[in-house]
Structure 1
């Protein structure tokens, strides 16, 4: 992986659940403040609109890092590669920068979907490949199945949920983590500690949360439709949380607040 890719992928702009003019306006605002990594998925139903909005930014294709994810409905020999080709058509690109499996295969047999992901990479449909919502054991198994490097496991990651097992697996397997629900869909703002820490750095509670995630070695995905928040979410590279503040925030992971589980997604795995 190039240094440019690694730095760009650290901060991605997520597009779920945006569509229409809201999506276009948000992508244009994100591009304006400096985002170059953009995240979508077949399941979101907005790949075509995302592709059109990215074209409207007038950014060079080589400056963009575009991620999409394959829906579990397409985890078959017949559907997988055609679905990826359709995603590329919608996104108006010849190759996606990062192609992820959106979920582990229901039932736990992840081998076929990973092999199909490898095929997409080998055929040049994807520059990089990775997974999403994988457990620690799945991460370890995936490394024995796929030859190409897996550049990420995109998971729910925020300071109200302990993900130490995934961090250990990331270190063991060399599969970095990336966050979604980075501010726990606003739940973090119910806890005064983040704002209190932010005041000492001249930063907001959200910026403190995002900086904590980055300092844990995890890339961040953020989404907003408000230009000021889009800019603030990107502006998290000019300060460093002290070890004391990192530890204070770490204690909040005992809250055990999980957003995405079987109650929301019936086919979700039994998370660590």
Structure 2
């Protein structure tokens, strides 16, 4: 598994997303992913599954130093004291003494960015999170965080897949050496039924989803965290790493419509 080096951490390019995973099914998914070789787990305060993931981690034979765990603070908890409270609760539920990456899950209106990042940087200085970052930040917000506050951002986690163009955001992140972590990398399952992707897949003895995932993972500075509950799906995502896309494949993917945004809540920022 290839890793991305960023702000002192090593981020496996393929991770396991856990949004909407709950209870025994969530624990089983995390356990099977770890057994298959996944070492990058992504959760959040808002997912309400940190406790379950913590139980799976506690039972795992994988050494803590070999694991990358990301969690996130919800956008209602962005005052400094609230961040600390949320962080303490997340750490306790995960049964860890530190996380590898702590993200602002979504920006909030009227948030105080300097105060937020002062608090996050203190958590990093205390060794309780190895790195800090953001999710769902647009270019304007990133400019404030990176250029004005000069926060050591380890990634921006955003929706990104073959059906959504993120070129301006990617160019900005690349110029700043900030990785993009792609959530919804399979467009919430929509890629599976795309005939152009399926045709590329047939050429490589792969599925449309594997083609879509490999297209992301082939990009420098891009990691992906597909949600996969079943071991078969988790293995299929790992097997996507073996697919060898050629220039004709990439041209066919480039020609696909790129305007399908799956996640766009009312509190989302103005997308670039």
| 8 Å Cα contact 1:182-1:220 kept in structure 2 | yes
2:156 partner SS: strand
Q: Residue in 2 aligned with 1:234?
A: 238
Which of these residues, 103, 126, 143, is aligned with residue 100 of structure 1? Answer: 103
CA gap of 1:110–1:139, structure 2 versus 1, over 3 A, is same
2:52 partner SS: helix
Q: How does 1:212-223 map to 2 (within 5 A)?
A: 212-217=215-220, 218-223=222-227
| 8 Å Cα contact 1:114-1:145 kept in structure 2 | no
What is the Cα deviation at residue 12 of structure 1? 0.8
Q: How does 1:199-210 map to 2 (within 5 A)?
A: 199-210=202-213
Point out the more displaced range, 18-27 or 232-241: 232-241
How many residues matched? 267
What is the Cα deviation at residue 147 of structure 1? 4.6
What is the alpha-carbon root mean square deviation over aligned residues?
1.9
Q: Residue in 1 aligned with 2:187?
A: 184
CA gap of 1:175–1:126, structure 2 versus 1, over 3 A, is same
Q: How many angstroms apart in 2 are the aligned matches of 1:112 and 1:54? A: 32
Q: How many angstroms apart in 2 are the aligned matches of 1:74 and 1:2? A: 26
What is the Cα deviation at residue 48 of structure 1? 0.9
Q: Residue in 2 aligned with 1:64?
A: 67
Q: Residue in 1 aligned with 2:172?
A: 169
Which of these residues, 50, 74, 84, is aligned with residue 77 of structure 2? Answer: 74
CA gap of 1:36–1:146, structure 2 versus 1, over 3 A, is farther
Relative to the length of structure 2, the TM-score reads 0.92
CA gap of 1:4–1:114, structure 2 versus 1, over 3 A, is closer
| 8 Å Cα contact 1:118-1:146 kept in structure 2 | no
| 8 Å Cα contact 1:108-1:269 kept in structure 2 | no
State yes or no: 1:130 paired with 2:97.
no
Q: How many angstroms apart in 1 are the aligned matches of 2:103 and 2:7? A: 20
1:153 partner SS: strand
| 8 Å Cα contact 1:161-1:258 kept in structure 2 | yes
Q: How many angstroms apart in 2 are the aligned matches of 1:28 and 1:124? A: 26
Which of these residues, 109, 119, 122, is aligned with residue 119 of structure 1? Answer: 122
1:269 partner SS: coil
State yes or no: 1:244 paired with 2:248.
yes
Q: How many angstroms apart in 1 are the aligned matches of 2:246 and 2:28? A: 36
CA gap of 1:3–1:113, structure 2 versus 1, over 3 A, is closer
| 8 Å Cα contact 2:27-2:56 kept in structure 1 | yes
CA gap of 1:183–1:109, structure 2 versus 1, over 3 A, is same
Q: Which runs of 5+ in 2 are unaligned?
A: none
Q: Residue in 2 aligned with 1:270?
A: 270
What is the Cα deviation at residue 247 of structure 1? 1.9
Q: Which runs of 5+ in 1 are unaligned?
A: none
